[in-house]
Amino acid sequence: MPAAALSSIVLSFEDARRVVETHARSISTPLTELVDLLASGGRVLAEPIVADRDIPPFPRSTRDGYALRAADLSPLPATLAVIAEIKAGEAVEAIPASIAPGQSAAIMTGAPVPPGADAVVMVEYTSRIGSDVQVTKGVSPGENVVPRGAEATQGSTLLIPGTRLRESAIAVAASVGKSQLRAYIRPHVAVLTTGDEIVGLDQTPGPTQIRNSNSYSLALQIQRAGGEPILLPIAPDEPKQLRSLIEQGLAADLLLMTGGVSMGRYDLVEQVLSEMQAEFFFTGAKIQPGRPVVFGRCVAGQCGADTPVRERPATYFFGLPGNPVSTMVTFELFARPILEALAGQTPATLKFLHARLKSEIRVKPGLTRFLPAILSGEFENSEVELVAWQGSGDIAATARANCYAVIPPDRDRIPAGESISVMLP
């Protein structure tokens, strides 16, 4: 069949990423729902979390020891009267109204430091002699005490909407008594894998057929980025059926297609979308793997009369190259910010570490490369080495890797020992 004339927009990695980030910023936040705190891990917060009281609510001892006046500890050793014992959660009536000069109170970690005392000396530097304590080491005023309200004052905002709920954010929500939280609804992400050779896991592949792995790796990546994957049936390399499945996919909040975006005669994704009057922002990026990646959107009412775009003026789509490693990499580089924005999250920036290259790399310049690699060593001794692979179809090699080594487009040789950028998936 004659391919429609398609204009190609091939951008550098940075430019393509910028295009995606600009669109991500223009996406409005989704609807919200109430979720139990215990089920909220990984969700995106849709309400501010505010301190319901000062944190800590009392001057908190961070040690087991003696609350006292720092000025009483010179000269050393110093002997002070022990007038009380204060445990964590102590009844207010049992806390002395004041620690006078020459006095102290035995105190436990997490207990309130009584008025008059300005420091806690660790129990390790003391010996108890009847109702007195002998202290052998000085403390500065404020030592081992977190003042009331030092972490947050009542009414201050601790978490803002758009925050991804990791364990620390969940601890904050729990600390202010939120057993339920308002979170953004997870966007639906349609996954459409294409290719005459691709078969489902319920089928025995023929001698020239390949099992669908992309839908499954993508489903995990989508979940991790805050979306809910919806796997569509596998599309054959035939325009009518492909179009009908693309139309189904556009009813989701985001459509991710894999395969069918290269230059082959049966790579029909771009052609079908352009017949549907889709808008294309790029049709390639100067990267490896993943060069033929496509990013665009279908505006409601323009992309086929039947296209029910879900409560949005337009649905974004990505045509991810079919090679499994290309699919994984291009999702992380380009699809993730759009999905995060659709999920209500402030999109995260890409994070690069630096590590010392173990063995020399030689490549052709011109492309930014994200090559599966193994990061090892710790702290300042991080080392990275490419895995031996057969190219971007090599899932087994990629499964042995734990990161991507990033090679800038202007380098053709990087010697062993040089510090290079590493991207964690």
First to last CA, the chain: 39
Examine residue 246 and tell whether it contacts ligand AMP (CB under 6 A).
no
Sign (positive or negative) of CA dihedral 223, 225, 229, 232: negative
* Contact with ligand AMP (CB under 6 A) among 47, 52, 197, 238: 197
Q: If binding is defined by CB under 6 A, does position 258 make contact with ligand AMP?
A: yes
CB 161, min distance to ligand AMP, A: 36
Q: Fill in the DSSP letter of residue 332.
A: I
Per CB under 5 A, does 195 bind Mg ion?
Answer: yes
Binder among 59, 249, 259, 347 for Mg ion (CB under 5 A): 259
Partner touching 210 among ligand AMP, Mg ion, none, CB below 5 to 8 Å by kind: ligand AMP
SS3 string of 164-198? ECCHHHHHHHHHCCCCEEEEECCCEEEEEEECCCE
- Applying CB under 6 A, among 19, 123, 146, 210 the residue interacting with ligand AMP is 210
Contacts of 140 (CB under 8 A, 6+ apart): 70, 119
Q: Which stretch binds Mg ion (CB under 5 A): 106-114, 212-220, 238-246, 257-265?
A: 257-265
Binding residues among 314-373 for ligand AMP as defined by CB under 6 A? 321-324
What are the φ/ψ torsions at residue 192 (nearest 5 degrees)?
A: -120, 110
Binds ligand AMP by CB under 6 A, chosen from 259, 289, 372, 409: 259
Question: Closest distance between Mg ion and the C-beta of residue 375, in Å?
Answer: 32
The verdict on 193 binding ligand AMP (CB under 6 A) reads yes
Judge whether 324 and 392 are in contact, CB under 8 Å. Answer: yes
Task: Output the smallest distance, CB 231 to ligand AMP, in A.
Answer: 10
Given the complex with ligand AMP, which of 161 and 324 has the nearer CB atom? 324
Which CB sits closer to ligand AMP, 197 or 279?
A: 197
- Within residues 270-329, the interface with Mg ion by CB under 5 A covers 322
Q: Considering CB distances under 5 to 8 angstroms, the limit depending on partner class, which of ligand AMP, Mg ion, none binds residue 62?
A: none
249 part of the interface to ligand AMP, by CB under 6 A: no
Nearer to ligand AMP, 169 or 219 (CB): 219
Task: Report the amino acid identity of residue 95.
Answer: I
Residue 395 CB contacts under 8 Å (≥ 6 apart), including other chains: 213, 324, 325
Closest distance of CB 282 from ligand AMP, Å: 16
Place of tokens 């207010």: 92
d(CA 29, CA 341): 7
With respect to Mg ion, which residue has the nearer C-beta, 65 or 292? 292
Q: Does 59 bind Mg ion (CB under 5 A)?
A: no
Site for ligand AMP in 371-410 (CB under 6 A): 393
| Contact criterion met (CB below 8 Å) for 168 and 79 | no
Least distance from C-beta 242 to ligand AMP, angstroms? 12
CA 200 to chain CA mean position, Å: 30
Could you give the 3-state DSSP secondary structure of residue 258? strand
Return the residues of window 46-75 that contact ligand AMP according to CB under 6 A. Answer: none
Which three-class secondary structure state does DSSP give residue 307? coil
DSSP assignment of 350-370 equals P-EEEEEESS-EE--SSSEEE
Minimal distance, residue 223 CB to Mg ion, in Å: 25
Number of neighbours of residue 2 by Cβ within 10 angstroms:
5
Asked if 221 interacts with ligand AMP (CB under 6 A), we say no
Minimum distance from residue 266 beta carbon to ligand AMP (Å): 8
Name the nearest CA neighbour of 272 among 295, 238, 306, 231: 238
User: Which residues does 321 contact at the CB level (< 8 Å), separation at least 6?
Assistant: 258, 259, 261, 262, 289, 290, 291, 292, 293, 327, 330, 392
Does the protein bind ligand AMP through residue 212 (CB under 6 A)?
Answer: yes
Interface positions with Mg ion (CB under 5 A): 195, 259-260, 322
Interface positions with ligand AMP (CB under 6 A): 193, 195, 197-198, 210, 212-215, 258-262, 264, 267, 321-324, 393
